[in-house]
Amino acid sequence: MRLRGSAVLLLVGACASPPDPAADPVLDRLRAGEAPRELQYDKNPVWTAEIAEALRENRPWKSDRDAFAAIVYFAANLGHDHLPVVEGLLRSEVPESRMRGLLIARLCTAIEILDLLNRYAAELLDSAKPEIARVALGAMGHRRAQGATEAILDYFEASDDPAALRALGRIWEGAGESPLRTAVHLVAHKLTMSPAATHESAEALLRVMSDPELEEFLSKWAGDKFPARTLAVASAGAKDFPSARGRKVHEAFLANPDGDLVAALLLTSPHRLDRAAVVPLLGDEREAVSTAAAGRLESIETGLRPDLPADPAARERLLKKWRERR
């Protein structure tokens, strides 16, 4: 009897209609302006196509989270046939659509998207629309859109927006020889060494220089009280600055005649300063520098962040300890 029942069930199953391929709950929710969590777990060209259509028609999403999740999925899975959609977003007169196109351009690694950024850089970098321009600069810097360099320089000349220099620094970091890199280097150097120096100009300069150029710059300026010295040190200590280069800059500036700068660098630099570069400063005549050097050496030994005791006597004992051990 049990076998006969199983046979009946198999027969009923064989005669039943196959599942309807159109019955896709994820697709239904996408059409309703939602981006369900299932997007994270599968790659479905039908879903990608639906998101493309929603972006092309500028359909509203139920929330910012839904819009962001859909764009992330689309950027990860778009194909060559979806490029016109991205191009349309980048050229749209609707600011929100342009912003979505720029987010896709930032997230997608396809070379064709980079080509679109380069091609429409001048349109995207409109000084009359700074909100869009700054998002575009972020995307260009992230994607290292070297073909957008001239448009970025033109935008900077028209707007004086320091974000343009920040983008150029990232675009040309470690990029090798090029007339455009040289032009960026000259602009960043001229501005950094002028009274109008900014964090962005100093960061761009430190990023775009080749290794020999950096060595020459540090040999000339790390021991000088030039006005932008604090900007250079701060830029080299930024969280997203290349660690090896940042460490080289900070160690070079330990020779600066500005005692306050050196003491602050010893106590706050996020880089693992070489012990050999710190030990000589224990004999520095500037009390703040020698004490900070002892604090950094204590940090190197313990692995804890540099700190100095609040009690003057305790600071003196710390300095004495490290002078005896050097």
Interatomic CA distance for residues 182 and 17, integer angstroms: 68
pLDDT at 20: 53
pLDDT at 153: 97
178: alpha, beta or left? (left if phi > 0; alpha if psi -120 to 50): beta
In the predicted structure, residue 17 carries a pLDDT above the cut 60: no
Interatomic CA distance for residues 220 and 215, integer angstroms: 9
pLDDT at 14: 45
Average model confidence (pLDDT) across the chain: 93
- Tokens standing for 122? 């001048």
Q: List pLDDT tens digits, range 176-232.
A: 889 999 999 999 999 999 999 999 999 999 999 999 999 999 999 999 999 999 999
Length of the chain: 326
The helix (run of H) or strand (run of E) holding residue 282 is: none
- H helices within 111-208, ranges in order? 111-119, 121-124, 130-143, 149-159, 162-171, 179-192, 199-208
Q: List pLDDT tens digits, range 39-57.
A: 988 999 999 999 999 999 9
CA dihedral 21, 37, 90, 136 (to 10 degrees): -160
The alpha carbon of 41 is separated from its chain's Cα centroid by a whole number of angstroms, namely 27
Q: List pLDDT tens digits, range 54-97.
A: 999 999 999 999 999 999 999 999 999 999 999 999 999 999 99
Mean pLDDT of 306-315: 93
In the predicted structure, residue 18 carries a pLDDT above the cut 50: no
Structure confidence at residue 140 as a pLDDT band (50, 70, 90): very high
Task: Determine the 3-state secondary structure of 74 from DSSP.
Answer: helix
Burial of 138 (0-12, 13-18, 19+ CB in 10 A): middle
Structure confidence at residue 253 as a pLDDT band (50, 70, 90): very high
pLDDT at 177: 87
pLDDT at 176: 82
Is the Cβ–Cβ distance between 201 and 234 less than 8 Å? no
pLDDT at 6: 46
In the predicted structure, residue 166 carries a pLDDT above the cut 70: yes
Is the Cβ–Cβ distance between 67 and 61 less than 8 Å? yes
Is the Cβ–Cβ distance between 294 and 318 less than 8 Å? yes
In the predicted structure, residue 1 carries a pLDDT above the cut 60: no
